Structure 1
Amino acid sequence: MSREAWLDFRLYVITAQSNHPGKPVVDVIEQTLIGGAQIVQLRNKTGTRAEVLEQAKALRLLTRKYNVPFIINDYPDIVIETDADGVHLGQEDMPVAEARRLLGPDRIIGISTHNLDQALAAERDGADYIGVGPVFPTDTKPGRAAVTTSYVAEAARHVSIPFVAIGGITLDNVDLVLAAGAKRICAVSAIVGSDDPASVCRSFLRRIEAAGGKAEIANKKSLTVNGRQELTSARTVEELVQQLGQQNKKLIIELNGVIVQRAQWTATELQDGASIEMVHFVGGG
């Protein structure tokens, strides 16, 4: 199968031994493949090279059995040794051009990105796909600030190569990510840390399929309103107030920490990822 065909995936799964202590990685990943996972990455940041190699050999056999591409994080030499399909790099790892020199023209090279500048640089450098994230806070990337769905929307508008949204994505928030324009989803702990990885994979795939091609959903914004996530087509504060049925109430509205005066509601545009506090007050004497 060609590299382009391998990249026609929707659900990307990454290993995470810490999410399933006592369960072999191969057994957990096989459950994800039974559930429909379409690409697998081996990510082991704590093991020795020998341990990573052992896992890679086992996962290479498993992914061949299910005819899905197999990616290894950080180790292009192990990619070659196990005949894996590609490598995934971080921003601090070797340049894409160096990885391409080592791996040749036919293997997949992906790279994590955290902003649009990095995404466009990866595209120029010849990456086959990029990771966009972490979309939400995640224990997999402790200390890394969430990029929110705003960056997902930017990638959808400006990046030509495939991108996969990753980081803190669960069945509770995946619709927000898809609405921002993502077509490919990677979930780690939500899948491999679950009691039934196969079932969770099927649920993710149903959500992704349901969102496919719905432009009216992709044009909506993800906002945080009084601490809760809202998906809305509202363009301004005034439209949001009306959509939420609050137009007849006395409100104080704070947008990203700044109070918006009533006279400015119509002119104040909303951006994806904005945080809004609406306080309803009752006058008294």
Structure 2
Amino acid sequence: MKKPLDYSLYLVTDQHCLSKNFANNLEKAVEQAILGGVKIVQLREKTANSRTFFDQAERILAICRQHNVPLLINDRMDIALAVGADGVHLGQSDLPADVARQLLGDDKIIGVSARTVTQAQKAKQDGADYLGIGAVFGTTTKDDAKVIDLATIKQINQAVDLPIILIGGINNQNLSMLKENIDKNQLKISGFAVVSAILQQDDIYQASKNLLLKIST
């Protein structure tokens, strides 16, 4: 049985939005984010070829292992298996979660992006460990991300008993408002996934620390 995970501050990588302080050095950026309080890392590479992605995943995994932080691979089951990552995060156009579970085994983490109650229920039925729900705000890091309203998140919350991670445009400026709306709507949210709010900052360590402080209070 897997131990409960801390999803509170969840980093999704995008090396194209790294600040000049970390240009072409995703490994250093990820390590600074972990030192600042990131609890789980998802490696996302939409444009890299398989060999580049594999090499990057091996380097990032070594850093995550050193700091005892789980590494998930976005979309690519083959890369996750090849490097021995802690799991995968799957979109609606990727392999179904039940197939991923057969390939990865029971001890790996599987997250699924969901925008509807039906998608969330299917993910639960297929053996997902958590749901990624978004975008909660407009975002520049994912071109096809459509904003989801809190009413839909509440419906998913009530229909499916899985940890929910919110993603999409979350930053240090809007996090407090988002948390207020979560409390007002009595939503059970396990974590917040961020990209540019950490990676685009000149001081990634401090940016991560500030976000975690807001999440924890």
- Provide TM-score, normalisation by structure 2: 0.90
Measured after TM superposition, the shift of residue 148 of structure 1 is 2.9
Counterpart Cα distance in 2 of 1:55 and 1:101: 25
Amino acid across the alignment from 2:162: I
Q: CA, structure 1 residues 58+77, in 2 after alignment: closer, same or farther (shift >3 Å)?
A: same
Residue equivalent to 1:114:
115
Compare the two structures and name the one with the higher helix fraction: 2
SS of the residue corresponding to residue 143 of structure 1 reads coil
What is the root-mean-square deviation in Å for CA atoms of aligned residues? 1.5
* Greater displacement, 150-159 / 9-18: 150-159
**8 Å contact kept, 1:42–1:72:** yes
Measured after TM superposition, the shift of residue 207 of structure 1 is 1.2
Give the counterpart of 1:18 among 16, 19, 39: 16
Counterpart Cα distance in 2 of 1:61 and 1:126: 27
**8 Å contact kept, 1:96–1:125:** yes
Counterpart Cα distance in 2 of 1:14 and 1:59: 12
Give the counterpart of 1:195 among 186, 202, 213: 202
Residue equivalent to 2:167:
166
Measured after TM superposition, the shift of residue 138 of structure 1 is 0.8
Deviations 1:143-164 (A, max 9, x none): 3320033333333333311110
Tell which structure's C-alpha radius of gyration is larger: 1
Residue equivalent to 1:249:
none
- Could you list the runs of 5+ residues in structure 2 that have no partner in the other structure? none
Counterpart Cα distance in 1 of 2:120 and 2:137: 18
Residue equivalent to 1:93:
94
Q: Which has the higher contact order (CA 8 A, sep 6+)?
A: 2
Amino acid across the alignment from 1:184: G
Residue equivalent to 2:59:
58
Q: CA, structure 1 residues 204+9, in 2 after alignment: closer, same or farther (shift >3 Å)?
A: same
SS of the residue corresponding to residue 136 of structure 2 reads coil
Amino acid across the alignment from 1:156: N
Identity %: 38
Residue equivalent to 2:157:
156
Deviations 1:73-127 (A, max 9, x none): 1111221221110011100011111101111111011111112221122112210
Q: 4+ residue runs of structure 1 moved beyond 6 angstroms? A: none
Counterpart Cα distance in 2 of 1:152 and 1:205: 22
Counterpart Cα distance in 2 of 1:168 and 1:120: 25
Counterpart Cα distance in 2 of 1:202 and 1:82: 29
* Greater displacement, 68-77 / 15-24: 15-24
**8 Å contact kept, 2:6–2:40:** no
Deviations 1:21-77 (A, max 9, x none): 623110110110110100001000000010100010001100000001010011112
Q: CA, structure 1 residues 118+176, in 2 after alignment: closer, same or farther (shift >3 Å)?
A: farther
